[in-house]
Amino acid sequence: MEQVISAIRKELLENSDEKTRKSTEHFFKEDIQVYGVKTKIVGDIAKKYWKEVKSREKTEIYKLCEELYQSGYCEEAFVVSSWIPRIKEQFVPEDIFIFKSWIEKYITNWAACDGFCNHSIGDFIDMYPEYIEELKRWTKSENRWMRRASAVSLIIPAKKGRYLKDVIDIADLLLTDDDDMVRKGYGWLLKEASRNHQDEIFEYVIKNKAIMPRTSLRYAIELMPPERRSIAMDKSGIKK
């Protein structure tokens, strides 16, 4: 095992406590592995050891990240989510397939999915927007986290008003997904897109509310004015 990995794990253990562990577990429906370290402390540990690894080759950093993922611990996944965006200037198109393999193999909860996809894949897409087509392919995966990733990878670009057509395309592809985590993921994406494109997202919701799951609909309209939320939530045609 790499010395830096051992050092990270040692610090995580030293900073863990039972109260934080139980509090963290409360936020997840699925079973998770967690040390029980406060988020700020994990962030400080990630920053501390980034100073030791940032001069390494990208391939070495990727190997360290995969080793962290392999433990299954949420805090170690958080370190990966902190490190990868720091080398976004080195991203090349082929990296999307490495990132995809990590999601398929190691992502097992919404926090690890969102933490990695929001920034790392979001940054990648801003560099190589043609790979949004790859995200659309993820919507057909049997892996629920791959499907959620297809949506949440566009959260930050959508918040800035980008890729509206692709946001709609992904929402269409996930529209009737039967997984609650996926429904929340694309609903969140629509919500962020509504910051700059409220009329278009409202129109989309009204057009699809007869088949859109209530969870997705509620997320999508969260930022809209009360009168629009009322129209969208009118009981007629809403799937329960």
What's the pLDDT score for residue 31? 82
Examine the pLDDT at 190 and tell me if it is beyond 70.
Answer: yes
Give residue-wise pLDDT tens across range 58-105: 999 999 999 999 999 999 999 999 999 999 999 999 999 999 999 999
Residue 2 sits at φ, ψ, to 5 deg, of -60, 140
Domains of the chain: 1-90 (no CATH), 93-240 (1.25.10.90)
Give the separation between CA 206 and CA 212, rounded to whole angstroms.
9
What's the pTM?
Answer: 0.92
What's the pLDDT score for residue 1? 60
What's the pLDDT score for residue 25? 79
237 versus 148: which is more confidently predicted?
148
Q: How far does the chain reach from its first CA to its final CA, in angstroms?
A: 50
Give the separation between CA 4 and CA 71, rounded to whole angstroms.
14
Give the separation between CA 50 and CA 170, rounded to whole angstroms.
34
